[in-house]
Amino acid sequence: MSGTQFILFSLTSLLVIVTPGQDMLLVMSRSLAQGSSAGVATAGGISLGLVGHTALAALGLGSILMASSGLFLLLLKLVGAAYLVYLGLRLLRTREAALELSEARASSPTKLFAEGALSNLSNPKVTIFYLAFLPQFVPADAEHPTLLIVALGLAFSLLTFLVKGLVGYFAGALSAWLRARPRALTGVYRTSGAVMVGLGVRLALERRT
């Protein structure tokens, strides 16, 4: 994997991570209810959950990437591309986004960490996203595609903790800013949607030798 590919992976990952979703709202809710440390603990649990999804994705993708081109087209290109385009179109159709945070009961940091991990691990959409997202940054001539997938998954997990940990720490100010600027939040959704659609099209048109 070249340095340019890794930079592209990092930038794309950051855009996906900052898009408010189930995990991001969970972090912000815990932080607003119990303070910055609660948000950071929840972010740590979510990042650990991503490690579990990384393992699942590596087990499936490792064999697919080294299989026949027909199997790759059927299981990875068509299904993965369609899923990314579907996610992207849903985000692009966002007309006006609103930040809605649920109330949270007081919990210990350990429990918050566990809740974050469970929330992420119990979301099958994350594994499906990994199956569609990670292969695009694995060169066709990679000697050890499974190891590269694991490395990319762990890098995504680390970036997630860095971003969501900061969000948890500054959740109060960030949530107030987003609530006051719904257009900015809508712009984040639409930009992320455009990237998703682009990734889906790229995956569908990709050729492997």
What backbone torsions phi and psi does residue 66 show, to the nearest 5 degrees? Answer: -100, 5
Which band of pLDDT confidence, cut at 50, 70 and 90, is reported for residue 152? very high
Is the pLDDT at 157 greater than 60? The verdict is yes
Mean pLDDT of 81-97: 77
Q: Can you read off the two tokens belonging to residue 201? A: 């099209």
Mean pLDDT of 22-32: 81
CA atoms within 13 A on the CB side of 191: 16
Is the pLDDT at 106 greater than 50? The verdict is yes
Which band of pLDDT confidence, cut at 50, 70 and 90, is reported for residue 156? very high
Using left for φ > 0, alpha for ψ between -120 and 50, and beta otherwise, residue 181 falls in beta
Is the pLDDT at 207 greater than 80? The verdict is no
* Unique residue bearing structure tokens 């950071």: 40
Is the pLDDT at 115 greater than 80? The verdict is yes
- Look at 33-42, 71-80, 92-101, 180-189 and tell me which has the smallest mean pLDDT: 71-80
DSSP string, 137-156: GS-TT-S-HHHHHHHHHHHH
Mean pLDDT of 105-126: 83
pLDDT of residue 129: 83
As a whole number of angstroms, the distance between CA 196 and CA 88 comes to 5
Nearest to 160 by CA among 112, 203, 126: 126
As a whole number of angstroms, the distance between CA 35 and CA 170 comes to 9
Q: Would you call 67 helix, strand, or coil by DSSP?
A: coil
- Look at 21-30, 127-136, 170-179 and tell me which has the smallest mean pLDDT: 170-179
Q: Which domain holds residue 164?
A: 3-205
Q: Can you read off the two tokens belonging to residue 166? A: 């900061």
Mean pLDDT for the chain? 79
- Which pTM does this prediction carry? 0.72
Which band of pLDDT confidence, cut at 50, 70 and 90, is reported for residue 170? confident
Q: Total domain count for the chain?
A: 1
Is the pLDDT at 160 greater than 90? The verdict is yes
